[in-house]
């Protein structure tokens, strides 16, 4: 599982409040990702990072921001949570390399409920 | 832009029968294609991938996938299904742009293997 942890694992919050989710990895991978998983939509990329302070938007980035000040940590912030952001959030890393080495590893997920 | 489609929300198959989970893709150039499996309340786990070479790729748990460039497909197969194969399966694509490890996932197909 490439040593990926997510915190918190579950969170209930109210509309309009800020929320920060944390992803931590222990293997020093350059690429880190935040996805959300929703029924009927599968897994959608929110933001990803390719190094400290280097981030880019994914398919569904509106309402989300990210930061990566250390290689091992990738934070996802919902500036003002809305009910449409109720979802399961997965962090992932990508093991780079040609051929057999490349793959993604996923964290256990964070279940977020916005009331 | 790269994309993948999984045309079936659910596939039912009897235990012992062969199974196929379909995936088609759209990407400029040669694709990198992946299959992942998700068991209940877990993150995604890597099954197999196609980068280049043989069109039939073998992966974990007895799964294999057939890459068909003319049909832009990468269907997941297993000769004999097990009840324990019941899970959610995701196809993913990465464009071949050098240095960009950005993955797009399909909407997922739920596989139900009936005893």
Q: CA angle at residue A109 from B95 to A62, to 5 degrees?
A: 60
Percent of chain B at pLDDT exceeding 90? 73
Condensed to tens digits (0 to 9), the pLDDT of residues A52-78 reads 999 999 989 999 999 999 999 999 999
**Above 90 in pLDDT, residue B98?**
no
Q: Does B32 touch chain A (CB under 8 A)?
A: yes
User: Residue B75, CB half-sphere, CA atoms under 13 Å: how many?
Assistant: 13
Instruction: Write out residues in chain A with pLDDT < 50, as ranges.
Output: none
Q: Residue B1: pLDDT above 70?
A: yes
Closest by CA position to B47, among listed B31, B62, B35: B35
Nearest CA in chain B to A31: B101
**Cβ–Cβ of B107/A109 closer than 8 Å?**
no
**B residues 54-93 closer than 8 Å to A (CB):** 90, 92
**Phi and psi torsions of B2, nearest 5°:** -85, 150
Question: CA-CA distance, B48 to B14, in Å (whole number)?
Answer: 23
Q: Provide the shortest C-alpha distance from residue B90 to chain A (in Å).
A: 8
| Per-residue pLDDT at A40 | 85
* Disruptive mutation site among B40, B45, B102, B106 for chain A (greatest number of A CBs within 10 Å): B102
Q: What pLDDT score does B99 carry?
A: 59
């Amino acid at each position: 599982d490439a040593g990926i942890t997510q915190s918190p694992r579950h969170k209930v919050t109210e509309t309009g409040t800020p929320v920060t989710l944390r992803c931590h990895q222990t293997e020093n991978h350059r690429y880190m990702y935040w996805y959300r998983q929703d029924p009927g939509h599968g897994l959608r990329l929110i933001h990803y990072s390719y190094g400290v302070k280097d981030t880019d938007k994914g398919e569904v980035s509106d309402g989300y921001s990210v930061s990566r000040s250390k290689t091992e940590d990738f934070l996802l912030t919902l500036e003002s949570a809305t009910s449409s952001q109720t979802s399961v959030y997965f962090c992932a890393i990508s093991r780079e390399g040609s051929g057999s080495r490349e793959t993604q590893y996923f964290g256990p997920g964070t279940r977020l409920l916005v009331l | 832009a790269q994309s993948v489609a999984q045309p079936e929300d659910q596939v039912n198959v009897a235990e012992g029968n062969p199974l196929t989970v379909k995936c088609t893709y759209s990407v400029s150039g040669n694709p990198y294609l992946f299959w992942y499996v998700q068991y209940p309340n877990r993150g995604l786990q890597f099954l197999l991938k196609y980068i280049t070479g043989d069109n039939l790729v073998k992966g974990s748990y007895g799964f294999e996938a057939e890459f068909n460039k003319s049909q832009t497909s990468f269907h997941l197969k297993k000769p004999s299904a097990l009840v324990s194969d019941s899970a959610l399966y995701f196809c993913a694509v990465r464009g071949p742009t050098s240095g960009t490890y950005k993955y797009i996932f399909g909407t997922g197909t739920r596989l139900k293997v009936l005893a």
